[in-house]
Amino acid sequence: MIEIPADPYPYGLDPERCALVVIDMQRDFIEPGGFGHALGNDVGLLQAIVPTVAALIALFRDRGWPVIHTRESHAPDLGDCPPAKLRRGRGTIRIGEDGPMGRLLVRGEPGNAIVEACAPAAGELVVDKPGKGMFHATGLDATLRERGITHLVFAGVTTEVCVQTSMREANDRGFECLLVSDATESYFPEFKAATLRMIAAQGGIVGWVAGFAALRDAVS
């Protein structure tokens, strides 16, 4: 076990059974003209973490540890998008409609691609998820168990939506979860701050939180 200084107390990372999960670092959320922008958000905040997420991915690759990427995405016929999700929001354009980067949140469209600096390498698992959480309708639980993974390190966007939902789902499934605080971001700084606190509160009710430098220094 590798001990990583973390909140609320040191996190034990099993180097034989860990994986990095990079949530939804796709153009839809990070670049102007995507889904996040259509919802009325300032995407500049999210762009700022790209170098740190890229460095975290490089660290895992360097150690030979698995990296898993997710994308929030729907089939072109939107058959995997519940009508309630489709109706949600009051933006000018909605899921499946045309934007500057193609149809919003639709698999295979330019906007659905992961930003270049965080792009999946050959052989890395890429999970297309129709929900906010990474386990809903993805089969990922079985894949992780087949691979013997027990420890998940989380990064990506947005902190209180897809990252937190995925981390809570993982926590309920028995995975030991660590969120890298400067490799995740929200459109709402106060929501990010609250999420980091609520994850680590009550003795780590959802998991642990640590900065990238603490993780890097502990594993180097």
Q: Tell me the catalytic residues.
A: 24, 129, 162
Query: 194 to each of 22, 49, 214, how far by Cα in Å?
Result: 20, 18, 21
Pick the closer one to ligand TIU by CB: 52 or 166: 166
SS3 75: coil
Per-position x/- string for 106-135, each x denoting binding to ligand TIU as judged by CB under 6 A, each - no binding:
--------------------------x---
The CB-of-217 to ligand TIU minimum distance in angstroms stands at 29
Cβ-contact 127, 117 below 8 angstroms: no
Beta-sheet pairing, 67-72 with 18-23 = parallel
Pick the closer one to ligand TIU by CB: 36 or 130: 36
Tokens of 194: 């609250």
CA–CA separation, 67 vs 174, rounded Å? 19
Q: Which range of residues in 92-100, 119-127, 156-164, 198-206 is near ligand TIU by CB under 6 A?
A: 156-164
Task: Work out whether 154 is an interface residue with ligand TIU (CB under 6 A).
Answer: no
CA–CA separation, 192 vs 86, rounded Å? 25
Query: 8 to each of 57, 104, 205, how far by Cα in Å?
Result: 24, 38, 10
Q: Which of 29, 135, 175, 212 binds ligand TIU (CB under 6 A)?
A: 29
Q: Which range of residues in 5-13, 154-162, 171-179, 203-211 is near ligand TIU by CB under 6 A?
A: 154-162
Q: Which of 162, 178, 179, 209 binds ligand TIU (CB under 6 A)?
A: 162
Site residues (CB under 6 A) for ligand TIU?
24, 29, 36, 39, 72, 132, 157-158, 161-162, 187
